[in-house]
Structure 1
Amino acid sequence: MAVFVALGAFLMTLAGGWTAQRVTDRRHLVLGLAGGLMLGVVGLDLLPEALRAADTEVFGVPAALLLFVAGFLVAHLVERLLAGRRAAHGAEEHVHRAPEVGLTAAAAMVGHSAMDGLAIGAAFHVGGGMGLAVAVAVIAHDFADGFNTFTLTTVYGNERRKAIGMLVADAVAPVVGAALAVFLTIPEKVLGGYLGLFGGALLYLAAAEILPEAHHEHPARSTLLCTIAGAAFIWLVVGLAG
């Protein structure tokens, strides 16, 4: 049952990626919307869940927040190291972007989607009602996941073929995760720590890369409105799922 329901996440992820592909003539609006979606996912979905799951403190600070900061710094470090390596070899790159960063970020989205599938499977172990509730929440925000996976891959200069490959992997991941839930059980504290780390990395990409690029060539009011709309959409999804 969990795998069948996870097919809804598969279709919604593909729909999000398809939408990102179809509006390439309004690239600044796509990036603005992607930045808002990422901001909303981090602030309204991932971080609250991480704080709830990983409720221990380390030297007076919640462990989830420490990992959140660590994720932000790791993403910054990786991006700088890759950009520096390409510059040292004389490679040309747009605003110092390395394609490897886009692929790494997309791979992290795939991992997150697999965790969503595990959550669906685990919830169905508790009961059918709980499983359907979790599935609705996952399916609702998987549109944003597909949109962001395709956008993150392409904005760093990767060719369309690779972006579609990462999108398909992201769509399949919840189904695989739901199937693995039959055999695996992830401790809640480990899951919370992962969400904090992933949230920090995602926030870095949104704030330091995606949004500045969105306003670089088109500092229009419409771009800002798309960012606000993206964050508001995630708020709506979280509210309806709750």
Structure 2
Amino acid sequence: MTAVLVAAGAFLMTLLGGWVAQRIGDRRHLVLGLAAGLMLGVVAFDLLPEALSAAGGRVGGVPQALLMFVLGFLVLHVVERSVAIHRGHESEYAPHAHHHGPTMGADGRVKGIGLTAGIALVGHSVMDGFAIGAAFQAGTTVGTTVAIAVVAHDFADGFNTYTVTRMYGNDRRRALTLLGADALAPVAGAAVTLAFTIPEHALGLYLGFFAGFLLYLATADILPEAHSPHPSGSTLLCTVAGVGFLWLVISLAQ
């Protein structure tokens, strides 16, 4: 039940991200930098050590948890590259127009890109909730640190769900509908884990996989997005602060 209550925090943070997306000024890069730091801290200080402890058996001389870590990273990379290729092919047929706001195009094909991206974020948020539930099954410390990272990350998810949906010509109502679904998704994912207990070895493998998944999000998505439109100094400080904060949390929880 704790996992579901924490997932409710992710629900609120997702809505906050969507709300900020409608009103934010020029400080989004700082929030994203901090979120990336929190995620990196969780991967290095908590998820990987716990995964190695629970699933330390080796395959070809490499710990199973580390193989799952690499697999999690590669799976998300392949999925994102596939989506990017699809978008590139779609753009060959979509009308080209310069834009400065959320109405990039008016035809269904362009709107579909925004909807596809928004639905993918909703699916990802279900996995976030599942990760919270699985982490609390591994222990309170693991659950707490994963929850911190997921809740921080869900701010960016809510922000991006609303922004991407609107960017490709969808109306505000449709964007808000997807934002609501994205907010409910972590609660649904966490609730699923109440129905069964994950065996320790399988839990270790999943935590390793999720660590790779989280590392990809932090390094390939969130950090580049945080640094691209702004000078990097303040964003870098926020990232370091996020890592340091997670180190402090882990130290106090021992």
TM-score exceeds 0.5: yes
Q: Distance between the aligned counterparts of 2:218 and 2:226, measured in 1?
A: 10
**How far off is 1:216 after superposition?**
0.6
Aligned pair 1:186/2:202, yes or no?
no
Q: What amino acid does structure 1 have at the position aligned with 2:223?
A: L
Aligned to 1:17: 14
Alignment CA distance shift 1:179-1:104 (3 Å): same
**How far off is 1:52 after superposition?**
1.0
Aligned pair 1:145/2:141, yes or no?
no
Q: Distance between the aligned counterparts of 1:37 and 1:147, measured in 2?
A: 7
Q: Distance between the aligned counterparts of 1:185 and 1:7, measured in 2?
A: 15
Alignment CA distance shift 1:153-1:73 (3 Å): farther
Identity of aligned residues (%): 42
**How far off is 1:165 after superposition?**
2.4
Kindly report which structure 2 residues correspond to 1:77-226, keeping only aligned pairs within 5 A, or say none.
77-90=78-91, 100=116, 103-104=119-120, 107-118=123-134, 120=136, 134=140, 138-139=143-144, 141-152=146-157, 154-155=159-160, 157-159=164-166, 160-161=175-176, 162-174=178-190, 176-177=191-192, 179-180=194-195, 184-226=196-238
Over the residues paired in the alignment, what is the CA RMSD in angstroms? 3.0
**How far off is 1:172 after superposition?**
4.8
- The alignment covers a number of residue pairs equal to 220
Alignment CA distance shift 1:164-1:230 (3 Å): farther
Give unmatched runs, 5+ long, in structure 2.
97-112, 167-174
**How far off is 1:153 after superposition?**
5.2
Worse-matched range after superposition: 8-17 or 72-81: 8-17
Q: TM-score, normalised by structure 2?
A: 0.73
Aligned to 1:29: 30
Alignment CA distance shift 1:213-1:108 (3 Å): same
- Partner deviation per Cα, 1:74-109 (whole Å, 9 max, x = no partner): 1111111111011101158xxxxx765675465344
**How far off is 1:110 after superposition?**
2.9
Q: What amino acid does structure 2 have at the position aligned with 1:142?
A: A
Contact kept, 8 Å, 2:72 with 2:209, in 1: the verdict is yes
Aligned to 1:130: none
Q: TM-score, normalised by structure 1?
A: 0.76
Q: Report which of the two structures shows the higher radius of gyration computed on alpha carbons.
A: 2
Give unmatched runs, 5+ long, in structure 1.
93-97, 124-132
Alignment CA distance shift 1:109-1:18 (3 Å): closer
Worse-matched range after superposition: 159-168 or 213-222: 159-168
